[in-house]
Amino acid sequence: MRKKVKKFCLILSLCGALLVPYWNGTYADLSVEYGSADNQVQTALNLGAYDMINEMVLDGAVSTNKAQEVLNSGYCLQYMDSWKAAGKIPSDFTPASQKSSSSSSSASSNDTPATATDNSGSDSQKSDTNSTKTYTDAEIDAAWKAVTTVDPTCATDGYTEYKNSLTGKTKQEAIPATGKHTYEVTDSTDATCTETGSVTYTCSVCGDTYTEETDLAEQTCEVTETTDATCTEDGSATYTCSVCGDTYEETIPATGHDDGEWTVTKSAGAFSTGTKELRCTVCGEVLDTETIPQTCPIPLFGVVAIVVIAGGVIGRTISVVRKAKKNKAD
């Protein structure tokens, strides 16, 4: 008779465990059966009722130590920021699962029980047998499978939730925020020649924003006054910005003379030289002069000497001829 009563109680507790996941009550209902709030948390963890744990923590029914213990075990990490904001845990608290790269393996070993219920048979076999099978640590470690992943954003952590197919337990691993913002241009101001501009970028995911300054624009200058250059003097051009009125001046180099053709100013004679000059075709300035030689190749004094000598010779000849004629006549 005693064995039958024990077997009935075991079957009843198993049925209760199977029905609890489908129960939609609040944590207040748990207090009737499971005692203090901290005990209720452990019961809710076993049932996978994470939303209920969150409600209990925010209502102040759970102690700070218990809330930290839940997070250190890798559970309810998605609620950690709201617990900090509500002052339920210290703002600088960091779960053990995030403190080192080995948190995943340690969480796996800490959450793994030595035994688990063997549910490999049919429904009738489960209700009749309810045998307990012992698994090795390696088998339990291999039974963890990812069931849910919430991707992180540029500013918010994500997480991956795992469930152990042998023990039925679940755990969570945090995925740190990427810190990679998706920036878009949301505002801009054009630069001028006197004032810098700006471009404002805003992250389309988290709203983070920053502004960059743009360089001054080039001046829009036009020629407003000119002085022409001459052959010998520089000219100038004055430029004025149509936006800010700033002015500056540029020098126009002198053009230099434009040589024309030689012009004879005095013709050469048989016994006299002439002159010619070179003038600039632009300003008329005399650039160079040259002497034109006389047309007769013998100098004037040479011609005079020849004439004198020739006159003497002719006179002498006439005198000789006359004397000869006179002697002949006598």
Q: Where are the alpha helices (DSSP H) in 136-287?
A: 137-142
Q: Give the alpha-carbon dihedral of 28, 16, 20, 122, to 10 degrees.
A: 180
- Domain end residue (candidates: 137, 163, 194): 137
Q: Given this model, what pLDDT does residue 159 score?
A: 94
| Residue 73 three-state SS | coil
Compute the C-alpha angle 166/169/175, nearest 5°.
120
Tell me, yes or no, whether 48 and 133 share the same domain: yes
Q: Given this model, what pLDDT does residue 17 score?
A: 41
pTM of the entire structure? Answer: 0.33
Tell me, yes or no, whether 116 and 210 share the same domain: no
Question: Quick check: is 328 in a domain?
Answer: no
Do residues 140 and 162 make contact, with C-beta atoms less than 8 angstroms apart? no
- Domain end residue (candidates: 119, 137, 155): 137
pLDDT bucket at 134, cuts 50 / 70 / 90 = confident
Tell me, yes or no, whether 123 and 201 share the same domain: no
Q: Given this model, what pLDDT does residue 185 score?
A: 95
Q: Given this model, what pLDDT does residue 150 score?
A: 93
Tell me, yes or no, whether 84 and 197 share the same domain: no
Question: Quick check: is 274 in a domain?
Answer: yes
E strands, the chain, where? Answer: 115-117, 132-134, 144-150, 158-164, 170-175, 183-189, 197-203, 209-214, 221-227, 235-241, 247-252, 259-266, 274-280, 286-292
For residues 224-240, give the mean pLDDT. 91
Question: Quick check: is 167 in a domain?
Answer: no
Tell me, yes or no, whether 200 and 237 share the same domain: no
Do residues 264 and 275 make contact, with C-beta atoms less than 8 angstroms apart? yes
Do residues 208 and 86 make contact, with C-beta atoms less than 8 angstroms apart? no
- For the chain, the domain total comes to 4
Question: Quick check: is 146 in a domain?
Answer: no
Q: Give the alpha-carbon dihedral of 44, 50, 55, 60, to 10 degrees.
A: 60
Tell me, yes or no, whether 128 and 243 share the same domain: no
Task: Using the predicted structure, report yes or no on whether residue 161 has a pLDDT greater than 90.
Answer: yes
Of 56, 62, 74, which Cα lies nearest the Cα of 38? 62
Tell me, yes or no, whether 26 and 90 share the same domain: yes
Task: Using the predicted structure, report yes or no on whether residue 106 has a pLDDT greater than 90.
Answer: no
Tell me, yes or no, whether 193 and 232 share the same domain: no
Question: Quick check: is 175 in a domain?
Answer: no
Do residues 223 and 231 make contact, with C-beta atoms less than 8 angstroms apart? no
* DSSP class per residue in 177-208: ------EEEEEEE---SSS-EEEEEEETTT--
Tell me, yes or no, whether 115 and 238 share the same domain: no
Tell me, yes or no, whether 110 and 205 share the same domain: no
Tell me, yes or no, whether 14 and 123 share the same domain: yes
Q: Given this model, what pLDDT does residue 207 score?
A: 87
Tell me, yes or no, whether 201 and 264 share the same domain: no
Q: Given this model, what pLDDT does residue 148 score?
A: 93
Question: Quick check: is 163 in a domain?
Answer: no
Task: Using the predicted structure, report yes or no on whether residue 69 has a pLDDT greater than 70.
Answer: yes
For residues 159-179, give the mean pLDDT. 91
Question: Quick check: is 142 in a domain?
Answer: no
Distance of alpha carbon 50 from alpha carbon 53, whole angstroms? 5
Compute the C-alpha angle 252/253/254, nearest 5°.
120
Task: Dihedral sign for Cα 301, 303, 306, 310, please.
Answer: negative
Distance of alpha carbon 256 from alpha carbon 234, whole angstroms? 10
Tell me: the pLDDT tens digits for 177-217?
988 898 999 999 998 888 899 999 999 888 889 999 998 88
Judging by beta carbons within 10 Å of its beta carbon (0-12, 13-18, 19+), is residue 32 exposed, middle or buried? exposed
Boundaries of domain holding 228 = 221-252
Q: CA–CA distance from 190 to each of 118, 194, 197, 199, 217 (Å)?
A: 72, 11, 5, 9, 9
Distance of alpha carbon 221 from alpha carbon 241, whole angstroms? 4
pLDDT above 70: percentage of residues in the chain: 76
Distance of alpha carbon 138 from alpha carbon 96, whole angstroms? 22
Name the token pair of 227. Answer: 């002085």
Task: Using the predicted structure, report yes or no on whether residue 252 has a pLDDT greater than 50.
Answer: yes
For residues 50-77, give the mean pLDDT. 88
Q: Percent helix, strand and coil across the chain, each rounded to 5?
A: 35, 25, 35
